Structure 1
């Protein structure tokens, strides 16, 4: 609202962020973090202002268009929702504008559209399988033993097939609930464990483990035998997969700490995914992380790995955990008793976490960042690999580098120099090609000028130029317009099954015929679209087979439409 009112009062650029200085002077004593974080506050406010300026511009255009077409005095709920959902346009801002125009808002329609979106989101978040436990009242609680054990002899409490509790037979997809389990259930960004449940005469392949309330749900397929409540089974997780996941999860904690140390204390986790192959970490930050910062982040994480310090866990209450400086993970729910995970020298990272982790930081082996990107306003994403995954990634990069060196006839050491030489040579060749195309255009213009036909006092040329790109067509059209004096030029080419069209009308003739109108007609003939200014227009099409007839009909179209 402040940005909009400033805009209405004549502010032509961002101004709100400048108020930070005055706020620090007035309230800095009561809120010291205003002073210590002033530079960052100004950066974030400036970024938000610049982004909102674009939002305001797009949203106002849409709103003005809808108001102009409005029948009555109420702005439809669908319009309000589109402004909010697509453009981030606040509802109260829409209401302000409506009130200034003497209009009202259809809040009921807006709420209906919002509820429709919520329903779609809820539907998208469901398991996506028919054999889930949703709606079933599962009693009891699964005891998780997986921090210390990778296997166990356990008793089945429930078996669910197609949403019903019943005996599972070979081939069934089912959900199994155990009294106790070493299988970690998907939580806090860490994927669920996989593995096997076995017993005399039977095997159940666990493909995922999830949580419902206090119970662990083991999702999978019965390979052989029967599964029923009361049956005792040997539960064993895929140990190698768990170990890879642990490395990635522990590295995520070190990464979080490194980000805060390198980028600033404003960094907080906004989401994560930890699986056996990689880690993905989303965090709050207002700009792209520079290559230098990424190198320092990676260096700090690997430094902690090389220290090989023990990873410590402590079960305590939330108050004591906060006293230790523990950070809570995004999306995790905590009770009165929490698990505090500390790792690295001098408690480099201290977080609340219920996931599985390595015993020592050195178990991670190696940490390598593979990408950094923005995923939404103020949120960045880092993807990385650890252990053998990191070695495989480095090996793949080395192979790519060696292949690039081979292609430019260089070595690993000289590849950059060789690539630069190749780029420079290509640029020089492109200049030479452009010069030759210009000469060809001039030559073609001279030749084509002799083919012009007179239509109502205008000289009309319509021709296909083989191998010409759009730039060459434009240059040739300009050459022809200069030679014709007063006339119309249409040039075309075909490449990879696509038609490129250019139409030109000399300035003196634009009062009699428009290049844009001619192009719309031409492009439609070859299954395409086009348009442009009265003196120059461009277009294209998908049907080269009709180009010859389209060009042959240009003179006739000019004759019919000439003023």
Structure 2
């Protein structure tokens, strides 16, 4: 029997896989982004086939018949979520690399299986006896290939049936969705030997680690219909996937992915830094995996936030920080290993270029989580103090975990220290609900309008304002119809259009389509597949399929959009000049009124930075450079210095827009010369998410209107203060100084009034209670704030021993009451009890401690009678206690 003696590094395996398929006439393609392009059905790219989905769905025709990729994948959110398993198993990761080869009609089952077997046994030199396979029980063709072509013994080709008799619900039958492409798959397993626990695939103990699935070959040959029946696909396709980390473990003769070369080096560095041995295996695995995943996510301009992909990144980083906390590491340190990930995992230039951004983002999140820990500890302590039982509600533990990112393990530890347990079943129940919601939200579904993607429109709008068109398809209320009448809201696809469809942040065109008997007003335009869809209202007449109409977009609206879009390019250029080349676009919205530009940056811009940005853009406008559009291959465009939006899917040939000093890939509409923009002004700069800033800006006539508005405000201000624009600031400063002086004088007079009232209250209390062992002060203090009311109660209590003090005021139309009880009287009647009684009388809520409490209400007229009543209440309550 052969023995695998080759020692493959992870990078060597990656290269060998690609070289093998390139030699077998496959097109090598780069990994698509972790954020799926034009696909809202997935949070993250979770397999190699995602970038080819349109080809499998026949929504687009592939420019090649076979391909090979090494795809970056993430499974840490939505339907495919391995996050909670990472660290506790030998195989789970958040981020991983998927090796895959794909066929779009070039070959099918036999060639796929032969390719896989040859690569594993001849190139990777794995002992054939160590391999076994599974096939779908009805896939006789694949079974026969393994038995007759590969010559595997019958016991090493395992037929897998349906789960619980449910048709096509099997580990060996793959389907993209409830409806759509599907087919059987064959999986190749590696046997680690009897020293590792686990049974054969398909057996009751098949989840063990002995037999590890290393490669899955999916044969998409059917189209699943709504009826559940299967129809044959016109062109069968192949989609395969092999986890790079798993095959590396096999080829490096280890049983855990975390024992392969790159992970072993990283965990050793982490344990050495924390000064621990590697016995803390689980936490070290978690930290190593999560640092790697975070680096890749941040390199694609994802930043920690409380929703969507940013929330997944936040959970990953906080889970890593929690395990660092368990290891006794309190100070931020995860960011120190970013460079190790880059060097060990040998990633592309984009990764290296963002090194500082990645480190800074991780450090910032570590520091924030440190604050969260403090907040979580405070909330938990309050809940423990309030709890009248020795059991903490599981809802509280889940709230801390889900809302504040507070580790449930830490909650359990603190509960144990306080001899309190928490309802783990309730926590698990809430967690299960959350996972169910996430699965439903992320389930892969086909585009609702997939039926209209068979149509395509020719776009003429770069050069033409008018077009003669034929109606290809009509839609009303979500359904395809043959005709429409006056007043109907419809969506129309024409064979030709000059209307720009919403794309790249630019809104779609508006305008009119006319015929001799109908007028259709276009309110918006978007694109579905290759079809331009015009949404609007049929203002008059009737229309039907095949009818000829004449379209014209709103030229004035288009011109304003063009100015704002070109200004957006210049804004992006200026941001990179002022803030550095690591600034990357996160999104934009360009319409006729303004431009909105989101970009990755960790802190607010200063006034000087905004001023410099405006100066650069306006200088570019003044230069009045001619806009140059070029079409060229994508790679050539990037080499020429053009900037593309990361994660955007571009055609093989792209449009490059040279607008002044800006050079970007863009399919939008633009001005002919930079001078056409007119002028540029930033309206606002703000934060929209952690690490993401937003600038809103205007151009041309909107700038004139903006300054006219400011000029009107300036004129009114001058008139009010009797000033001119030249000395307005000086007059405002003088006025403010005078106001400040008057406020201080008023405050001093008010304080004298408060002291006089306090003195009178104490004297009145002593006089009224001469024959009692205690004093009661219950009165309203006029013209004070809540803070001053509390201070007054302090002063009264300190100057009046054995006393009950109940003071009230009306501040900002709300009733406020403070209650103080001296220590010698608290056991007879507490401040908390008195405040609650007052709250009932003034129509509000109240409470506090035995010595001090507060109440608040919304009915000012009830304050005076309430104070009279509470004085009597206290008097009779104490007398009753004394008599008993």
SS of the aligned residue for 2:520 comes to strand
Query: Aligned pair count?
Result: 546
SS of the aligned residue for 1:277 comes to coil
SS of the aligned residue for 1:421 comes to helix
- Is residue 509 of structure 2 the alignment partner of residue 193 of structure 1? yes
Q: Which residue of 2 aligns with 1:129?
A: none
Deviation at 1:390, TM superposition (A): 1.5
Deviation at 1:461, TM superposition (A): 1.9
1:436 pairs with one of 749, 758, 763: 749
Q: Which residue of 2 aligns with 1:377?
A: 690
Deviation at 1:438, TM superposition (A): 1.0
Q: Which residue of 1 aligns with 2:22?
A: none
TM-score (normalizing by structure 1): 0.85
SS of the aligned residue for 2:725 comes to coil
Whether the aligned pair in 1 keeps the contact of 2:342 and 2:351 (CA below 8 Å) is no
Q: Which residue of 2 aligns with 1:113?
A: 434
SS of the aligned residue for 1:205 comes to strand
Q: Which residue of 2 aligns with 1:253?
A: 569
- Is residue 458 of structure 2 the alignment partner of residue 140 of structure 1? no
Question: Would the alpha carbon gap of residues 85 and 471 (structure 1) be closer, same or farther in structure 2, given more than 3 Å must change?
Answer: closer
Whether the aligned pair in 2 keeps the contact of 1:268 and 1:284 (CA below 8 Å) is yes
Task: Name the CA distance, whole Å, in 1 between partners of 2:676 and 2:736.
Answer: 43
Q: Which residue of 1 aligns with 2:821?
A: 505
Question: Would the alpha carbon gap of residues 528 and 48 (structure 1) be closer, same or farther in structure 2, given more than 3 Å must change?
Answer: same
SS of the aligned residue for 2:734 comes to helix
2:497 pairs with one of 175, 181, 185: 181
2:373 pairs with one of 56, 61, 69: 56
Deviation at 1:177, TM superposition (A): 1.0
Task: Name the CA distance, whole Å, in 2 between partners of 1:434 and 1:444.
Answer: 15
Task: Name the CA distance, whole Å, in 2 between partners of 1:288 and 1:276.
Answer: 27
Q: Which residue of 2 aligns with 1:342?
A: 658
Deviation at 1:484, TM superposition (A): 3.1
Deviation at 1:84, TM superposition (A): 6.4
SS of the aligned residue for 2:846 comes to strand
Q: Which residue of 2 aligns with 1:315?
A: 631
In our comparison, the structure showing a higher alpha carbon Rg is: 2
Task: Name the CA distance, whole Å, in 2 between partners of 1:557 and 1:115.
Answer: 55
- Is residue 644 of structure 2 the alignment partner of residue 328 of structure 1? yes
The within-5 A match list for 1:233-382 is 233-329=549-645, 332-344=648-660, 348-382=661-695
Q: Which residue of 1 aligns with 2:403?
A: 86
Whether the aligned pair in 2 keeps the contact of 1:24 and 1:34 (CA below 8 Å) is no
Deviation at 1:175, TM superposition (A): 0.8
Question: Would the alpha carbon gap of residues 114 and 271 (structure 1) be closer, same or farther in structure 2, given more than 3 Å must change?
Answer: farther
1:152 pairs with one of 447, 467, 482: 467
Question: Would the alpha carbon gap of residues 41 and 364 (structure 1) be closer, same or farther in structure 2, given more than 3 Å must change?
Answer: same
Question: Would the alpha carbon gap of residues 81 and 504 (structure 1) be closer, same or farther in structure 2, given more than 3 Å must change?
Answer: closer
Deviation at 1:482, TM superposition (A): 4.2
Task: Name the CA distance, whole Å, in 2 between partners of 1:223 and 1:412.
Answer: 51
Whether the aligned pair in 1 keeps the contact of 2:781 and 2:807 (CA below 8 Å) is yes
Deviation at 1:60, TM superposition (A): 6.0
- Is residue 359 of structure 2 the alignment partner of residue 46 of structure 1? no
Q: Which residue of 2 aligns with 1:422?
A: 735
Question: Would the alpha carbon gap of residues 304 and 135 (structure 1) be closer, same or farther in structure 2, given more than 3 Å must change?
Answer: same
Question: Would the alpha carbon gap of residues 506 and 104 (structure 1) be closer, same or farther in structure 2, given more than 3 Å must change?
Answer: closer
Task: Name the CA distance, whole Å, in 2 between partners of 1:105 and 1:239.
Answer: 61
SS of the aligned residue for 1:328 comes to coil
2:808 pairs with one of 483, 487, 492: 492
Whether the aligned pair in 2 keeps the contact of 1:329 and 1:353 (CA below 8 Å) is no
SS of the aligned residue for 1:224 comes to strand
Q: Which residue of 1 aligns with 2:136?
A: none
Whether the aligned pair in 2 keeps the contact of 1:133 and 1:160 (CA below 8 Å) is no
Question: Would the alpha carbon gap of residues 393 and 330 (structure 1) be closer, same or farther in structure 2, given more than 3 Å must change?
Answer: farther
Task: Name the CA distance, whole Å, in 2 between partners of 1:99 and 1:223.
Answer: 68
Whether the aligned pair in 1 keeps the contact of 2:815 and 2:857 (CA below 8 Å) is yes
Task: Name the CA distance, whole Å, in 1 between partners of 2:550 and 2:348.
Answer: 58
Deviations 1:420-475 (A, max 9, x none): 22222222222111111111011112222344354963211222234333244334
1:227 pairs with one of 543, 548, 558: 543
After the TM superposition, which of the residue ranges 37-46 and 482-491 deviates more from structure 2? Answer: 37-46
Question: Would the alpha carbon gap of residues 46 and 317 (structure 1) be closer, same or farther in structure 2, given more than 3 Å must change?
Answer: same
Deviation at 1:108, TM superposition (A): 8.7
SS of the aligned residue for 2:714 comes to helix
Task: Name the CA distance, whole Å, in 1 between partners of 2:581 and 2:499.
Answer: 35
Deviations 1:267-322 (A, max 9, x none): 11111111111111111111111111111111111111111111122222221121
Task: Name the CA distance, whole Å, in 1 between partners of 2:565 and 2:691.
Answer: 24
SS of the aligned residue for 1:289 comes to coil
Whether the aligned pair in 2 keeps the contact of 1:95 and 1:104 (CA below 8 Å) is no
Task: Name the CA distance, whole Å, in 2 between partners of 1:294 and 1:32.
Answer: 30
Deviation at 1:166, TM superposition (A): 2.9
Deviation at 1:388, TM superposition (A): 0.8
Task: Name the CA distance, whole Å, in 2 between partners of 1:207 and 1:287.
Answer: 38
Deviation at 1:227, TM superposition (A): 1.4
Whether the aligned pair in 2 keeps the contact of 1:177 and 1:216 (CA below 8 Å) is yes
Whether the aligned pair in 2 keeps the contact of 1:80 and 1:94 (CA below 8 Å) is yes
Task: Name the CA distance, whole Å, in 2 between partners of 1:456 and 1:213.
Answer: 89
Deviation at 1:55, TM superposition (A): 3.1
